[in-house]
A and B are shown apart, each in its own frame.
Chain A
Amino acid sequence: KAGVTQTPRYLIKTRGQQVTLSCSPISGHRSVSWYQQTPGQGLQFLFEYFSETQRNKGNFPGRFSGRQFSNSRSEMNVSTLELGDSALYLCASAGDSSYNEQFFGPGTRLTVL
C-alpha cells in the first residue's frame, strides 16, 4: 500500500507569513503525528491527531496548530512565521494494532527568510 505522503516537499516563506502543510497517512491509519526536526536535533513532537481529535500535544506555541479530516488526512498550520521555524516538518502515521510503529513521510522542508 502507498506510504505516507506530504505536500509540499519544499517551501520558502518570509517572516510574518503563515503556512499550511499537508499529510496523507497510510490507508487505514487513524493516528497522525507531526514533528519538527532542525539540523542536529532530534524529533520534537508537535501534536497527534486520532479520528479527527487532537489526542496530545508537545511544547510548542499556539502559532502551531493542526487538524485532521474524516479521511484521516491531516494539516498543520504555522502562523506568524519566525526565522526559527525553519525546519523539516515530518508527519507519521500509525495503525491501531501497531501504535508503536510509526511510518514517516518524506517531510516538508520549510525555510523562513
Chain B
Amino acid sequence: GQSLEQPSEVTAVEGAIVQINCTYQTSGFYGLSWYQQHDGGAPTFLSYNGLDGLEETGRFSSFLSRSDSYGYLLLQELQMKDSASYFCAVRSSTNAGKSTFGDGTTLTVKP
C-alpha cells in the first residue's frame, strides 16, 4: 500500500520561502502530485513530478527523489493568498492507479 507523511502545520511571513516536505512509503507509484486547498474550497492541482528532479511553475517548485522516498513543494515570495492546505498525492502503479493523499499541511502566511 501507500502512505504519505507531511508536517501538519507550517507558518511563514509574507515574502519568505517555505518548503513543505512529503515522505512516502509505497510499493510503486507513477509520480508525486501536489494540490492546494483553500478553506471551504476544492483542491486544485499545482504540480506533478513523474521523474526525479525539480519542476518549476512560477513561484511554486516541486521536487522528487525516488531513491530517498521524498519530495517537497517550494513556495517562493509568499503571499497572503498562499495561506491554504497543501496535499501531496500518488497514484499506485501496482494497484490499478489507486490514489492516496497525505493528510495535508496547513500553511499560514503572516504579514
* Residue positions of A touching B, CB distance < 8 A: 31, 33, 35, 41-45, 48, 55-58, 90, 92, 99-107
Which residues of chain A are within 8 angstroms of B87 by Cβ–Cβ distance?
Answer: 42-43
Main secondary structure of the interface of B (DSSP, over half): strand
B48–A43 touching, CB < 8 Å: no
Task: Say which one of B12-20, B65-73, B97-105 lies at the interface with A.
Answer: B97-105
Within 23-38 of B, Cβ neighbours of A (below 8 Å) are at: 30-31, 33, 35
Chain B hits for A101, CB < 8 A: 33, 45, 48
Q: Looking across the interface, which residue of chain B has its beta carbon closest to that of A91?
A: B42
Kindly state the separation between the CA atoms of A31 and B99 in the bound complex, as whole angstroms. Answer: 12
Given contact pairs A42-B102, A48-B97, a sample of 4 additional A-B residue pairs in the complex whose CB atoms are under 8 Å apart? A42-B87, A42-B103, A57-B98, A100-B30
Total interface residues on B, CB under 8 Å, equals: 25
| CB within 8 Å for A42 and B101 given contacts A100-B50, A107-B42 | yes
Chain B min CB distance to A69 (Å): 20
| Residue in chain B with minimal CB distance to A33 | B99
A92 to B31 CA separation, bound complex (whole angstroms):
18
CB distance from B47 to the nearest CB of A (A): 9
22 A-B residue pairs with Cβ-Cβ distance under 8 Å, sorted by A, are A31-B97, A42-B87, A42-B103, A43-B43, A43-B89, A45-B100, A48-B99, A55-B97, A56-B95, A56-B98, A90-B42, A90-B43, A100-B31, A100-B48, A100-B50, A102-B33, A102-B89, A102-B99, A103-B45, A104-B44, A105-B42, A107-B42
Contact residues in A for B97 (Cβ distance below 8 Å): 31, 48, 55-56, 99
Question: Could you tell me the distance between the alpha carbons of A31 and B87 in the complex, rounded to whole angstroms?
Answer: 20
Which 4 A/B pairs are nearest by Cβ-Cβ distance?
A: A42-B103, A104-B42, A56-B98, A43-B101
On chain B, the residues within 8 Å of A100 by CB distance are 30-31, 33, 48, 50, 91
